[in-house]
C-alpha cells in the first residue's frame, strides 16, 4: 500500500521508494530473520568499507557469534582476528566492548533508545539512528554520506553536502520521514545514493528523480567548497599499520620488533605505527618487548 505524502517533498520520497521496491540489493542483513544484533554488526562493518567486502565477513561473524553474549564471552583478540582486512580494526574492538555492555547492562538485547545506543563504544549519531530504523523500524533521521548527498542535490541544488552535519540538515531530513514507510525510506535513499546518485559519475541519465532534481535543473553546478581529500594509501602510515596488524593476526604468539621491521621498508613508520596501535589498545607489548594482539595469551 502506497503512503500518502504531505507536500512537494513527497515527489522525492515516493519516487525513490518506488525505485527501491524494484532495485534494492538482496543484502543478507535485510532478511526478515536478521536480529538487531545482526544489524548492529553490519553497521559497524559497513563504516568506510565496501558492502561487497562486508558480506562474507558479516556472515562468518554471525555464524561464530550469533548474539552479543556469544561475542562477549570471546577474547577481544579473537574479534580483531575475525575482523581480518575490513580496515579500521578499532571497530572490532569497539564491537566487542559493545557486546559486553549489551550482555551486562541490557540483558543481552541491543537497546532501542538513541541515548543507550550512543553510549556503546564506536556508536555515533548515524549508527544509532541506523539501528533504530533498520532493526526496530523507527522513524529515525539516518544521515550517512549517501543520504546527505541525495538531499543536497535533489532538494538544495548543491553538488555535495558540507563536511559536517548541521541542525538545518537534520531538520530537513526529518521532514522526509512524514509518511507510512520512514524506515524503508532511510534504506531506500541510502541505496539510491550508493547506486544512482553517486559521488563520482552519477547515473543521471537513468535517474528516476531527474525531473525534480534541483542540481540537474541548475546545470550541475560544481561544489562551492573544496572537499577534503584523503591521503594516498600506498606507502602511508595507514598501510604500515595494516601490515603490522596482518602479521600479528596470523601469529600464534607474540612477534619480535625485528620481525615486524623486516616486513616494512621504513623503521620510522614502523615505530609510529606501533605507537599508534598501542595507544589505540589494539596491540600490547610483552615483558620481553615483543608485540601481540590485545588480549592474546
Active site positions, annotated: 43
User: In this structure, are residues 12 and 176 in contact, taking their beta carbons and an 8 Å threshold?
Assistant: yes
Grid coordinates of 113: 533508545
Q: Is the dihedral of CA 267, 261, 234, 279 positive or negative?
A: negative
What is the DSSP code string of 62-87? HHH--SHHHHHTS-HHHHHHHHTTSS
Q: Cα dist. 269→42, 241, 272, 296 in Å?
A: 32, 9, 5, 24
What is the number of residues in the chain?
A: 297
User: In this structure, are residues 98 and 123 in contact, taking their beta carbons and an 8 Å threshold?
Assistant: yes
User: In this structure, are residues 93 and 79 in contact, taking their beta carbons and an 8 Å threshold?
Assistant: yes
In eight-state DSSP terms, residue 255 is B
Read off φ and ψ for residue 285, nearest 5 degrees: -105, 135
CA distance 74 to 83: 13
CA distance 277 to 260: 13
Amino acid at each position: 500500500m502506497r503512503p500518502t505524502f504531505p507536500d512537494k517533498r513527497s515527489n522525492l520520497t515516493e519516487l525513490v521508494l518506488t525505485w527501491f521496491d524494484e532495485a534494492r540489493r538482496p543484502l543478507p542483513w535485510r532478511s526478515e530473520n536478521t536480529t538487531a544484533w545482526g544489524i548492529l554488526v553490519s553497521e559497524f562493518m559497513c563504516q568506510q568499507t565496501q558492502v561487497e567486502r562486508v558480506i562474507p565477513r558479516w556472515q562468518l561473524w554471525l555464524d561464530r557469534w550469533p548474539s552479543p553474549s556469544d561475542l562477549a564471552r570471546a577474547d577481544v583478540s579473537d574479534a580483531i582476528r575475525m575482523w581480518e582486512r575490513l580496515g579500521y580494526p578499532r571497530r572490532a574492538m569497539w564491537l566487542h566492548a559493545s557486546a559486553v555492555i549489551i550482555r551486562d547492562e541490557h540483558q543481552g538485547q541491543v537497546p532501542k533508545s538513541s541515548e543507550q545506543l550512543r553510549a556503546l563504544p564506536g556508536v555515533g549519531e548515524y549508527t544509532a539512528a541506523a539501528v533504530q530504523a533498520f532493526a526496530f523500524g523507527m522513524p529515525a533521521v539516518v544521515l550517512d554520506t549517501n543520504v546527505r548527498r541525495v538531499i543536497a542535490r535533489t532538494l538544495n541544488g548543491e553538488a555535495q553536502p558540507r563536511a559536517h552535519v548541521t541542525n538545518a540538515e537534520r531538520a530537513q531530513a526529518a521532514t522526509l520521514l512524514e509518511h507510512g514507510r520512514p524506515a524503508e525510506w532511510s534504506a531506500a535513499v541510502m541505496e539510491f545514493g550508493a547506486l544512482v546518485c553517486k559521488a563520482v559519475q552519477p547515473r543521471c541519465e537513468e535517474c528516476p528523480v531527474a525531473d525534480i532534481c534541483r542540481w540537474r535543473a541548475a546545470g550541475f553546478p560544481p561544489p562551492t567548497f573544496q572537499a577534503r581529500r584523503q591521503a594516498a594509501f600506498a606507502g602511508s602510515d595507514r598501510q604500515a599499520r595494516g601490515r603490522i596488524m596482518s602479521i600479528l593476526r596470523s601469529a600464534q604468539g607474540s612477534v619480535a620488533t625485528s620481525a615486524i621491521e623486516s616486513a616494512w621498508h621504513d623503521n620510522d613508520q614502523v615505530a609510529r605505527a606501533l605507537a599508534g596501535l598501542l595507544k589505540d589498545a589494539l596491540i600490547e607489548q610483552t615483558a620481553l618487548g615483543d608485540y601481540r594482539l590485545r588480549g592474546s595469551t
